[in-house]
Structure formats: C-alpha cells, structure tokens
C-alpha cells in the first residue's frame, strides 16, 4: 500500500513539474502590442517588408505579439519617428539610416554620394562590422538597432526638362531629405535644395512649390509621383539603407526570448524586403515609362562629371566620420567590388 501511495505521489509530482515547467516555457513569450510606423507608401518594398515582419512575429510568438502597421507617414515623417521612439510613443520604425547623423555624425557614412555601385557592396558594409558599429552608437540615444533594410538607389525626377548632364540641374528646385548632406549635394550641383518630409512631397510637386525630387524608382511609383513629374533621370547618386529601430523604453521591457524573436524576425524580413526592392527597381522604371515619364540614363562620362563636381561634398562630410570606420567601409567596398 505504501509503495502504491509513493508511486502515486511520485507520478503526481512529475506531472506537476511538467505542467508548471510547460507553463513557464509558454510564459517566456508574453503578450505585447507594437506600433511599427514608417513613411513608406502602401505597396512599396518598405511597406511590404513591414507586413512580412508582422507576419513573422505573429507566427513566431503564437499570436502573442501583435504588430500594428502605420505606413504613408500617417504618424509623421522619418525625423518625427526618431523622437517618437525615444519617447515611447511608437515602439518601432524603419527609416533612412543617414538621418541618424543628427544623433551621431558617423551615420553620414551611409549617405556619401556615389559611394556604392551595387547592392552587394552596400550589403557588405551594412551587414558587417561597420553597420553594427553604427547601430551600437544609438544605445545612449534611447534607440536599439536591429539591422538594415533598403530603399535602394535614388533617382532624380523633375517637371521642367530632361536632365542628361550636370548643367541641366542648374536652377531646379529639388525636394531633398531633411539632412545636411542632401542639401549640400544638390546645392553644389547647382539646384536649389528644399528639405521636406516625404509625406509632403506629392503636394509640393503638384503645387509646383518644388520642380523635382529624388527617390528610388519603386518609391516614385508607389507614391504616384509620376502624376506630377514628367522627367526621370537614372542617376544612382545615393544608396539608401533603412535602419530598423526599436525604442529602448519598449526593448527594456522585453525578456531575452522576446528580444531574440523580434531580432530574428527583423533579419528574416530584411532578406524578403531587399529581394522585393531589387526585383521592383527595374520593373518600376519600365512602369513609370509606360505611364508617360521620359527616362534618361546618365552616360558613364556624365557620371564622372557628377563625381568630380560633388567631390567637395564627399570630402566635407567624410571628415565627420570616424576615420577607422570610414577606412573599414572603403575596404569592404573594395573587397566586394573585386569579387564581382
């Protein structure tokens, strides 16, 4: 009888351990709701990447972590999103990495014009030690960097005339990103740079407050800028990595398992978003042309003229970057270029 009672108690104890152990394991992922906001237009690679991220998080968390998506800049432009994350108003955003130069000068590195020739070169820098070192600089600023997606290579549009040479830019009022390097770049090229948040661009173009703007082709298409722009120049003057950021206030409330889940989801969504972006880039140019835009591709000789004219801008802003970090980035680019 005693043996039977002992066996019963042992079995009950084992079942209890398994029960409570299972409950503890399940509790490692708690219930959270995250607002993920960006200026990306619906249908853009950025918005599609956000949707993929939300889908992955939902699957990995068993529905416990919900990601609410806010696209089209409905909660504000990129600059406003930085403050919103720091204040805990928004939990997560994806924005132009170069804008983070307002928090640390070294982020100027990613916006140096005509720096990257191919996406592979950009990936080598952003996914390696250089990209990580940049994200690490955000910790004291109340931000946590999860990696980089992409907006892609930026192209120039305007409503006045074709731009096939440096001289053709003279006098054009061009909307640019709210960043000093963009302002200096287009002023140096002879344009009048007008910094504006992306959500205000369509109206500014429609009202002729500005003559043109510069963005990757998929962004031009999804934002329907072709409706208010006639001429597209394939200049590839800048490549835009997008920093995937989460507010430290929210991040610090998560346990290690929750953090790992979100980090892994951001990297998985990165690969998806980049593939979409790169597939759409060529298709977007064709679609814009079919919708009536006049497309010009800069000749190699003209690109060299652009490089020569904006060299003072490159030299000026390169001085803001940690020299060791800049040297490492250039070494990574050279290595990737040699391997192609």
pLDDT at 79: 85
Q: Choose between 1 and 68: higher pLDDT.
A: 68
pLDDT at 310: 96
The arithmetic mean of pLDDT across residues 181-194, rounded, is 97
The arithmetic mean of pLDDT across residues 81-105, rounded, is 94
| Nearest to 119, CA basis, from 220, 270, 253, 13 | 270
The arithmetic mean of pLDDT across residues 103-116, rounded, is 95
Residue 339 pLDDT more than 60?
Answer: yes
Residues contacting 303, CB < 8 A, separation 6+: 114, 235
Per-residue three-class SS string for 4-65: HHHHHHHHHHHHHHHHHHHHHHHCCCCCEEEEEECCCCCCCHHHHHHHHHHHHHHHHCCCCE
pLDDT digits (tens, 9 = 90+) for 282-297: 899 999 999 999 999 9
Going from the C-alpha of 216 to that of each of 40, 46, 90, 115, 120, the distances in angstroms are 12, 12, 26, 16, 17
Q: Choose between 28 and 32: higher pLDDT.
A: 32
Superfamily of domain 30-339: Bacterial extracellular solute-binding protein, family 7 (3.40.190.170)
The arithmetic mean of pLDDT across residues 305-311, rounded, is 95
d(CA 48, CA 151): 12
DSSP H or E run through 297: strand 294-297
Residue 93 pLDDT more than 80?
Answer: yes
The arithmetic mean of pLDDT across residues 20-39, rounded, is 73
Instruction: Quickly state the pLDDT bin for 134 (edges 50, 70, 90).
Output: very high
The arithmetic mean of pLDDT across residues 168-190, rounded, is 96
pLDDT digits (tens, 9 = 90+) for 113-126: 999 999 999 999 99
Backbone angles phi, psi at 147, to 5 degrees: 140, -165
pLDDT at 81: 92
| Inter-residue contact 214 to 156 (CB < 8 Å) | yes
pLDDT at 154: 97
pLDDT at 54: 98
Helix 119-126 vs helix 323-339: angle between axes, to the nearest 10 degrees? 140
d(CA 280, CA 274): 10
């Amino acid at each position: 009888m005693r043996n039977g009672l002992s066996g019963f108690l042992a079995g009950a104890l084992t079942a209890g351990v398994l029960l409570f152990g299972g409950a503890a394991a399940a509790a490692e992922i708690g219930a959270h709701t995250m607002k993920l906001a960006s200026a990306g237009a619906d249908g853009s690679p950025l918005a599609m990447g956000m949707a993929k991220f939300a889908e992955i998080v939902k699957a990995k968390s068993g529905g416990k972590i919900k990601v609410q998506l806010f696209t089209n800049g409905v909660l504000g432009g990129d600059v406003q999103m930085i403050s919103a994350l720091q204040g805990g108003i928004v939990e997560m955003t994806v924005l132009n990495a170069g804008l983070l130069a307002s928090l640390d000068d070294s982020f100027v590195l990613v916006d140096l014009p005509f720096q990257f020739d191919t996406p592979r070169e950009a990936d080598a820098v952003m996914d390696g030690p250089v990209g990580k070192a940049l994200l690490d600089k955000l910790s004291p600023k109340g931000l946590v960097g999860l990696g980089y997606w992409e907006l892609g290579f930026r192209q120039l549009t305007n409503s006045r005339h074709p731009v096939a040479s440096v001289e053709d830019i003279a006098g054009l009022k061009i909307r640019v990103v709210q960043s000093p390097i963009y302002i200096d770049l287009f002023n140096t090229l002879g344009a009048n740079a007008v910094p504006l948040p992306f959500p205000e661009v369509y109206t500014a173009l429609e009202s002729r407050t500005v003559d043109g703007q510069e963005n990757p082709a998929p962004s031009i298409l999804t934002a329907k800028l072709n409706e208010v722009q006639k001429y597209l120049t394939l200049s590839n003057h800048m490549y835009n990595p997008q920093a995937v950021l989460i507010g430290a206030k929210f991040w610090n409330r998560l346990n290690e398992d929750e953090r790992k889940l979100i980090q892994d989801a951001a990297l998985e969504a990165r690969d998806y978003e980049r593939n979409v972006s790169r597939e759409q880039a060529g298709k977007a140019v064709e679609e814009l042309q079919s919708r009536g835009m006049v497309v010009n591709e800069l000749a190699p000789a003209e690109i060299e003229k652009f490089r020569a004219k904006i060299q003072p801008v490159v030299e000026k802003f390169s001085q803001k970057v940690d020299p060791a970090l800049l040297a490492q980035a250039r070494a990574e680019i050279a290595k990737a270029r040699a391997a192609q």
